[in-house]
Amino acid sequence: MSKDCGNHGGGKEAAVRRLCGAIIAFIIIVLITIFLVWVILRPTKPRFVLQDATVFAFNLSQPNLLTSNFQITIASRNPNSKIGIYYDRLHVYATYRNQQITLRTAIPPTYQGHKEDNVWSPFVYGTAVPIAPYNSVALGDEQGRGFVGLMIRADGRVRWKVGTLITGKYHIHVRCPAYINLGNKAAGVLVGDNAVKYTLVTKCSVNV
């Protein structure tokens, strides 16, 4: 009787081991398949272009406070012919010499199909944002010369879609230099009473 019970227990353990082995083998096969598809298709990161910026306000006041309000147009292209991109989260904001000068504006989640383009026109703004004293001096000097160099940034998370497979989330960081001629309104197009739209067409760097 004891031998039968022992054999029965051993049979259960063997079945559990076989089941665990089958699950592990299945997971490994799935991972290898995803890896091979990924390598064969060679996904290319999306391309971004900062097309223009409409400046509604850009005022530096004492003590080192900046109030700004822009509407930017930023375009994204998926260069892949067999891979789609999910933008699960994307926040746009402006910086000056690595200091954030506006709030983050969220772009609605979207899916970008094969060889597809998306264009967004978010507002980025900040009211009485404290600026580091040395940045305030540099910004005042640039304003005096006319051109101001900002960096429009977009940070978020993306997923890749290959057929029916969807990857995990990846960080995406977009950097778009914006050199705006605030000293010459004639360099842009007057919009309304005070706003000026400046054409930029600046290629952005993208890290995923």
Q: What is the pLDDT of residue 40?
A: 61
> Quick check: is 1 in a domain?
no
Q: What is the pLDDT of residue 168?
A: 85
Condensed to tens digits (0 to 9), the pLDDT of residues 9-57 reads 567 788 888 889 899 999 998 888 777 766 666 679 999 999 999 999 9
Residues 106 and 177 occupy one common structural domain: yes
C-alpha dihedral (189, 173, 150, 98), degrees to nearest 10: 160
Provide the percentage of residues in the chain whose pLDDT is more than 90: 71
pTM comes to 0.81
Residues 26 and 82 occupy one common structural domain: no
Residues 32 and 104 occupy one common structural domain: no
| 128, two tokens | 């009485």
Condensed to tens digits (0 to 9), the pLDDT of residues 174-191 reads 999 999 999 888 899 999
Residues 197 and 141 occupy one common structural domain: yes
Residues 36 and 64 occupy one common structural domain: no
| Mean pLDDT of all residues belonging to the chain | 90
Residues 27 and 57 occupy one common structural domain: no
Q: What is the pLDDT of residue 124?
A: 98
Specify the residue for token string 């309304």: 192
Asked if 178 contacts 151 with a C-beta cutoff of 8 angstroms, the reply is yes
Cα–Cα distance measured from residue 186 to residue 181, given in angstroms and rounded to the nearest whole number: 9
> Quick check: is 196 in a domain?
yes
Cα–Cα distance measured from residue 108 to residue 89, given in angstroms and rounded to the nearest whole number: 7
Instruction: Indicate which CATH number applies to the domain containing 58.
Output: 2.60.40
